[in-house]
């Protein structure tokens, strides 16, 4: 009987050695890299949160230190949310930007649509940095930068599905 248990134990240990090799390293094991050794590359992928390093942001001239200010506004069509509207601020460039992200649920089924975004200035009572796209199927949209950091502002955006007579609009919260 003892030999039988010994053979079973040896077989179990052999399997464990195959599954967990000695000297293996796993993510999170070992010391963290120093800040100077960390990768400095940033993702250029578009994102619902808004990525100021994305290709669309770069094409619009968005400074890559921009971050969201205020709360998100939501574009609704027939009671269903179809897009988000956000305002971004760049301390380095001293500019504000409007941002619209078309939600996957609308983007995947809507076909072509029109989109606008910009920054509304409460003191000037107008939309600045406005950009517009027609007959698009893109998902990420950035306005031009605006020199409005000393003013009360909100990002504004609209989405109009092909065939709808008017666009659906939203604004982020007012920021001063």
CA-CA distance, 84 to 100, in Å (whole number)?
6
Residue 163 sits in which domain range? 55-171
Does a structural domain hold residue 148? yes
User: What's the CATH code of the domain at 101?
Assistant: 2.60.40
What is the band of 48 on the pLDDT scale with cuts at 50, 70, 90? confident
pLDDT of residue 40: 39
Does a structural domain hold residue 13? no
pLDDT of residue 53: 85
Residue 57 and residue 67 in contact, taking contact as beta carbons nearer than 8 Å: no
**Cα–Cα nearest to 117, from 73, 79, 150:** 73
DSSP 64-105: TT-EEEEEEEEEEETTEEEEEEEEEEETTTTEEEEEEEE-HH
Mean pLDDT (the chain) is 83
Does a structural domain hold residue 27? no
Residue 127, both tokens:
């939309």
CA-CA distance, 70 to 39, in Å (whole number)?
30
Does a structural domain hold residue 17? no
Residue 60, both tokens:
């619009």
CA-CA distance, 100 to 56, in Å (whole number)?
11
Number of structural domains, the chain?
Answer: 1
pLDDT of residue 42: 72
Q: pLDDT, tens digit, for every residue of 123-136?
A: 999 999 999 999 99
* pTM of the predicted protein model: 0.75
Q: pLDDT, tens digit, for every residue of 125-173?
A: 999 999 999 999 999 999 999 999 999 999 999 999 999 999 999 999 9
Q: Per-residue pLDDT for 1 more than 70? A: no
Q: pLDDT, tens digit, for every residue of 51-103?
A: 888 989 999 999 999 999 999 999 999 999 999 999 999 999 999 999 999 99
Does a structural domain hold residue 146? yes
């Amino acid at each position: 009987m003892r030999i039988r248990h010994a053979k079973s134990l040896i077989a179990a240990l052999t399997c464990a050695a195959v599954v967990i090799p000695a000297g293996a390293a796993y993510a999170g094991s070992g010391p963290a890299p120093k800040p100077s050794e960390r990768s400095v590359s940033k993702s250029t992928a578009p994102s619902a949160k808004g990525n100021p390093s994305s290709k669309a942001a770069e094409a619009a001239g968005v400074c890559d230190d921009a971050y969201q200010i205020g709360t998100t506004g939501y574009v609704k069509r027939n009671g269903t949310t179809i897009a988000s509207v956000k305002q971004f601020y760049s301390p380095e460039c001293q500019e504000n930007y409007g941002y619209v992200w078309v939600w996957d649920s609308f983007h995947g089924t809507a076909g072509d649509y029109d989109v606008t975004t910009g920054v509304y200035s409460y003191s000037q009572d107008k939309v600045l940095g406005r950009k517009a796209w027609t007959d698009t199927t893109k998902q990420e949209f950035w306005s031009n930068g605006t020199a409005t950091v000393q003013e009360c502002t909100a990002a504004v955006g609209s989405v109009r599905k092909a065939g709808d007579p008017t666009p659906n609009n939203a604004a982020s919260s007012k920021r001063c």
